[in-house]
Amino acid sequence: MCQMIEGLIKSQCQDYGGLAVICGFLVSTVYLLVVMNLENSIELFGEEQYGFKLIGFFLGILVLGITCFVDDSKGIPSWVKLIAQVVAACIVVACGLRIENINLPFIDNKIWFQDWFSYILTVCWIIGITNAINLIDGLDGLSSGITLISCISLIIIFTLNSSPLIAILLITALAGAIVGFLPFNFNPARTFIGDVGSNFLGFSLAIISILRCC
């Protein structure tokens, strides 16, 4: 009987690797933000209002984390998760983070969007990228490995394009959290990222890619 209970606990804990990724990301991010703000290396509540945008980002993570944790534990309908994704995306948009324009390739012009279209586009982008990473989470190390490759690519792009320091900080922290998790997720996996982790990875990629343009 004790062996059955122990096996059940272990099988349940295997699906919660995403919580470790989120904790690693948040601890490193908050620490760096506090230190850099004290050193005046970054301005969180200046003209760009990065502080409010980050608050929206963290609240969105909280909404998705709670919903997906319940899904990993007991299982919930897919439409409930979709509602949580919409709510998280709307919180981010309400805190001032949105896609305002796009750059045309090979042309030094920008296409600026109307406010109403910008809101819709941003919400659709966040939901789309979140589900893209979530849906590929079918093999050991697949979603986390692809996200790590995306992070490395974005770090290079951010550095070459002189992107805001906050975007480089966040994408580097996300890459570091994944690197710490991946050794435990390679085949044969000892733990799995679960819906909590896969939704978090997609949500974070979507937000950081928008933040880079702010």
Per-residue pLDDT, 93: 94
Per-residue pLDDT, 171: 93
Cα of 55 vs its chain's centroid, Å = 13
Per-residue pLDDT, 2: 32
Contact between residue 58 and residue 91 where contact means Cβ atoms under 8 Å apart: no
Per-residue pLDDT, 90: 95
User: What's 110's DSSP letter?
Assistant: E
Contact between residue 25 and residue 181 where contact means Cβ atoms under 8 Å apart: no
Per-residue pLDDT, 78: 86
Per-residue pLDDT, 106: 67
By 3-state DSSP, what share of the chain in percent is helix, strand and coil, each rounded to 5? 75, 5, 25
One digit per residue, pLDDT tens: the chain, 214 residues? 333 323 433 444 456 678 889 999 999 999 988 888 888 877 777 767 788 889 999 999 999 999 988 888 888 888 899 999 999 999 999 998 988 887 776 666 777 788 889 999 999 999 999 999 988 877 777 888 899 999 999 999 888 887 888 889 999 999 999 988 888 777 776 777 888 888 999 999 999 998 866 5
Per-residue pLDDT, 77: 87
Per-residue pLDDT, 9: 34
Query: What span, in angstroms and rounded, lies between the C-alpha atoms of 120 and 68?
Result: 24
Give the domain ranges of the chain: 2-211
Per-residue pLDDT, 5: 26
Query: What span, in angstroms and rounded, lies between the C-alpha atoms of 135 and 202?
Result: 10
Tokens of 179: 């690197």
